Amino acid sequence: MKVALYGKQIAKKHVAEIQILFEFLHKNEVDYVVHRHLATSVEEHELIKPESVAYFSSYDDLKNANISFVLSIGGDGTFLDTILYVRDLKIPILGINTGRLGFLSNTPTSEIESAMKDLINGNYSIEERSLLRLVSSKNHFGQDNHALNEISILKSDSSSMITIHTELNGTHLNSYWTDGLIISTATGSTAYSLSCGGPIMMPGSGNFVITPIAPHNLNVRPIVIDDDAILKITVESRAEKNLVAMDSRSEELLNGEVLTIQKADYRISIVQLQNQSFVNSLRNKLNWGLDHRNG
């Protein structure tokens, strides 16, 4: 087995727990490669010796490295960055949470050793998650034009609303007078979309959701659509430029640009250990069932 480790900074409070991970890898003779951003941090904490480590820094590096799993060390934002390196390689990703909520990175650092044993022994399942793909004449985001959570169209200032003209499968759906629009996957339904009143969707439900941000028309509500649908979006605004965001990345969007949004032609594989599930995450992360009547 060979694993790739991706992450950014390791906070001092997590050093001892991450050290357990490296000790486990060495003890069990698991080959590994470390992303250069993460390597800088773990080298500062003297968790690895630079001369003994193989590095990666791109999708192409992983493509030819025969990787069994990618360990994403950080919060959900780090997990979303991880998919930019995995893309269509079908390498399962395990999220180790050193962040806050940890909906995607749902393995706590206190369970690192047991999680690694489960990987070695095959005590896990794989969930396939759909992604969104963005196509535009400006080639926004280049080859990284895929999002696991959502694609958002956002105004770039705090004054006037923007008008977002939206077509669904070639038919006019709505012109949203709003601060923005979120097109979310089922995975992202518990993220930005949820905070704007969107519904929670089960992974694998085969749906996306369109959620307006502060719409001017009060009868405009989120709508769930088939994930095979094709959306075309055009923005009108008093400002010359607005924003298009994919997960945690954003670029300028000019008035009149046409964006095409649809399901990506590949999916991301997420490792779920035996004690993990989307339903458990709903209860534990969103405090579902936290009611004094439930004892």
Element (H, E) at 233: strand 231-236
What is the rounded CA–CA span in Å between residue 152 and residue 129? 19
Active-site residue identified among 31, 60, 76, 265: 76
CA 106 remoteness from chain centre: 13
Torsion of CA 68, 119, 271, 277, to 10 degrees: 170
What is the rounded CA–CA span in Å between residue 209 and residue 225? 6
Q: Among residues 98, 70, 128, which one has the least CA distance to residue 8?
A: 98
What is the rounded CA–CA span in Å between residue 228 and residue 67? 30
The yes-or-no answer on residue 118 being catalytic is no
Q: From the CB of residue 116, how many other CB atoms can be counted at a distance below 10 Å?
A: 23
Please tell me what DSSP assigns to residue 198. P
What is the rounded CA–CA span in Å between residue 39 and residue 56? 10
First to last CA, the chain: 44
What sign for the dihedral angle of Cα 104, 155, 138, 220?
positive
Q: Hey, which residues are catalytic here?
A: 76
